[in-house]
Structure 1
Amino acid sequence: MPHPVIALVLLSMTTSTLGAAPAPELSVRYERPDSPRAEQARKLLKDSGALKTRIRLPKPVKVVARDCDEADARWDGGKRRITICYSLVDKVRRTMTGIAETEEADARTTKARTEGALAVLFHHQLGHALSAMNGLGDSHAQADQFAALTLAADAPAHVVPAPEARHLLAGHAGIDHLSGPDESATFACLLYGSDPARHARIAQGGWVPAERAPACAGEYDRVKSTIGSMAVARP
């Protein structure tokens, strides 16, 4: 008969094996850029922390930041890989800088908006990954729903800058997954609805239509009750 302490250890190991195992973390790789502009984009993306997450995943996922032929961000279900292109990061940076010059926004505001936009890009792709790996299909609308949930749970510092950035970029074509005023309003509504008191600035900024704002908490609750269990952050 095994020693009581050994038996306790074996029981603990068995329980851990049979119970819910910790979700695997994302692996993130920044490939070597081929130009000074791409290097600037790599540094911006890495320093922003936008690719960090504590969201539980059903399977391992790789995140690769790299040079691409097009300004793009994409999820590859076959390889379980999220790709963020330096050219897209550079396009977001240049567009945000142009908006800041027009508005005469300060450097701190521009930095927060740019990092918020990068967080949306990543969390939208993370949404595609969660949707696909949980067998829910693969639509941009559902990826946006996951992105709102994961941002609210995982990146509180980006919750207000993210919808602001998306609102500013909604009319700019060619900025992957950030264009579109209707999509921007829905995304802002979900983030505002996650905590209307704490995120009041989203409504005050006009990033969600005033007539829609009172219903946003209900919209958020409906989305959370449907897919919230698949978008949980580790403590």
Structure 2
Amino acid sequence: MATGDEPWPVYRYPGIAPVTVDATGRYQVRRIDGKWWFVDPAGHAFLFIGVNGVGPQGAPDARRQFPYRKLVMQKYRNLDSWAESAAQRLRQWGFNAHATGHLGKENEKDAIRRQPLWFAHLVMFGELFWRKNGDILLGNKDKWQSVPNFFRPDYETFCDEMAHRLAAKLCRNPWFIGFMLDNERNWEGPVPFTQACWRRPAADPAKRAFVDFARRYTRGRIDRFNQIWGTELES
């Protein structure tokens, strides 16, 4: 991440607004005159206009091969040439970012991220967490969109440690604006979220969180709980 002491370019890309605030050396989100903006480290407000899924690989064919990647490399010879051309076209089309969901190998992602376009890094905290411990609230192990038991006390530590590792890797890239968290969690699930928590054992963190929520929401009145949840509990 750029520091406040480094020079910061005045961009001439789509989405830049004639609105400035004090430079902080960090990306931020600010409400200015009633409107929300991204703000770059130099204090320039901008709209993040990104396209998802940038990469040289294309879609696989019936043999799970990537013929488009082969054609790209024949034309551009190296990834940096491809990335420069792709970034130029994106700016011509009115984009100033390549968002997240980068497609392809790690070195292909790195190539496009070196171009002067903003990007966010997708972090799948939820999927990585339940794959580590197998604790799923909604969904099953066949679906990456499944919702983990994020009420567990180790969830915060897990996310914090991962975020620090990723930030250490990405923070030197001046086009990195931050993280996008957990794409397409399967919140509808086979049962409502509250029922999924309610069905857990009494000592489970999700069950305790539900009980605490229900107690606050109903102000501790069992009659209100029964009315809302359609139960006939006595205590």
User: TM-score normalized by structure 1?
Assistant: 0.26
Larger Rg: 2
User: TM-score normalized by structure 2?
Assistant: 0.26
Instruction: Kindly indicate which of the two structures has a greater share of residues assigned to helix.
Output: 1
Instruction: Kindly indicate which of the two structures has a greater share of residues assigned to strand.
Output: 2
